Amino acid sequence: MGKRSVIPFGPQHPVLPEPIHLDLVVEDEKIVEAIPSIGFVHRGLESLIDKRDFNQLTYVVERTCGICSFQHGMGYCECVEHIFDVEVPRRARFLRTIWAELSRMHSHLLWAGLLADAFGYENLFYQCWRIREKVLDLHELTAGGRVIFSVNKVGGVIKDIDEDKLKVILDTIKDIEKELKVISKTFFKDYSVQSRLKGVGILTPEQINALGAVGPMARASGVSNDMRSLGYAAYDEIDFEPVVSNDCDCYARCYVRIMEIFQSIDIIRQAIDKIPKEDELAAVIKGNPNGEYFMRLEQPRGEAFYYVKANGKPNLQRMRVRTPTFANVPALCEMLKNTEVADVGILVVTIDPCISCTER
């Protein structure tokens, strides 16, 4: 056994997009243990239940994350809607599906760019983020904001997407699909990309199960689990299968996310094809919620958990968000064992960490 030493990694590091700290216990260049620390940007959003009523909280939870903002709002609203036992109008459910998949595309393209940047492929980074801009333009066109949408409300949505805008979405995702096919070849076939990702950061399905990892992390290790299968929003009317890889390494995690962008394009096309022409945008909500519910949904980074408990008053008794990164940190620490220090940056990026989400 070589001499052990500890290398502090983060919370600020050139390759880290988010403030997580890892104490890396190393023997020579090999990592034998990684001890995580978070808590640098804790905001206490959940404690705002005392100051904001259940309707206002929709806008609070949207600010949990700047990347999956829409999905946080949707997850919270669906959770409260379950407590009210209210049926959301069908058009609103399809609109939520379209916005959710646009968010997934934007998140995965952002991540793909960060990954390319982490392994030093700057052209690929620029290309990913250039394409991502087109998705952000669609956000702005349909919701008015590029980051925070503010279109959800308990009972449905507050904005519609008219026929002209739906056509713009279809035209834009067609362009994105064409361009994505070109850059996906680089991600999947390029020798230098493969040499950095293949066989690195192996997580077996047994480890995934033991550590409770979620989302593309789990699916890249052969675990076919996608919360969209629960049928929330309009996913019960959409035909899709979880994207799964059995390679269990960083390359597999890249493959799953890139293929999920293509899947999102397909889902948006299905949703636009099936969306009812005329319908209400929101159900009428009377009174205050009374009860509790555990809501699960598939955010770009994986399963998010919303828990709401209410006692018939405007202010909730408890609102809890468990974000996907919170669930994936133990898997990250396991994955880091027996890897080289030089791979740490890429390994951290392949879980697509969102620590701001995690800290809430």
Binding-site size, other proteins (CB under 8 A):
44
Tell me how far apart the alpha carbons of residues 86 and 152 are, in angstroms, rounded to a whole number: 15
The single residue among 138, 248, 256, 327 that binds other proteins, judged by CB under 8 A, is 327
User: For residues 339 and 348, is the Cβ–Cβ distance under 8 A?
Assistant: no
Cα distances (angstroms) measured from residue 277 to each of 160, 163, 167, 273: 11, 9, 14, 10
Tell me how far apart the alpha carbons of residues 201 and 349 are, in angstroms, rounded to a whole number: 11
By CB under 8 A, residue 39 contacts other proteins: yes
Residue 91 vs 322, nearer CB to other proteins: 322
The single residue among 223, 233, 258, 272 that binds other proteins, judged by CB under 8 A, is 223
CB 246 to other proteins: min, Å: 15
Tell me how far apart the alpha carbons of residues 282 and 77 are, in angstroms, rounded to a whole number: 11
CB 185 to other proteins: min, Å: 29
User: For residues 218 and 208, is the Cβ–Cβ distance under 8 A?
Assistant: yes
Can you read off the two tokens belonging to residue 168? 């713009």
Residue 127 vs 264, nearer CB to other proteins: 264
Type of residue at 56: Q
Name the one range near other proteins by CB under 8 A: 73-81, 87-95, 109-117, 321-329. 321-329
The single residue among 249, 260, 303, 352 that binds other proteins, judged by CB under 8 A, is 303
- CA atoms within a 13 Å half-sphere pointing along the CA-CB vector of 322: 15
Name the one range near other proteins by CB under 8 A: 157-165, 186-194, 217-225, 341-349. 217-225
The single residue among 9, 322, 335, 354 that binds other proteins, judged by CB under 8 A, is 322
Tell me the three state secondary structure of residue 181: helix
DSSP string computed for 120-155: T-HHHHHHHHHHHHHHHHHHHHHHS-SS----EETT
Residues in contact with other proteins by the rule CB under 8 A: 35, 37-40, 42, 44, 46-47, 50, 209-212, 218, 223-225, 227, 229-231, 235-241, 294, 296, 303, 305, 307, 309, 317-318, 320, 322, 326-327, 329-330, 359
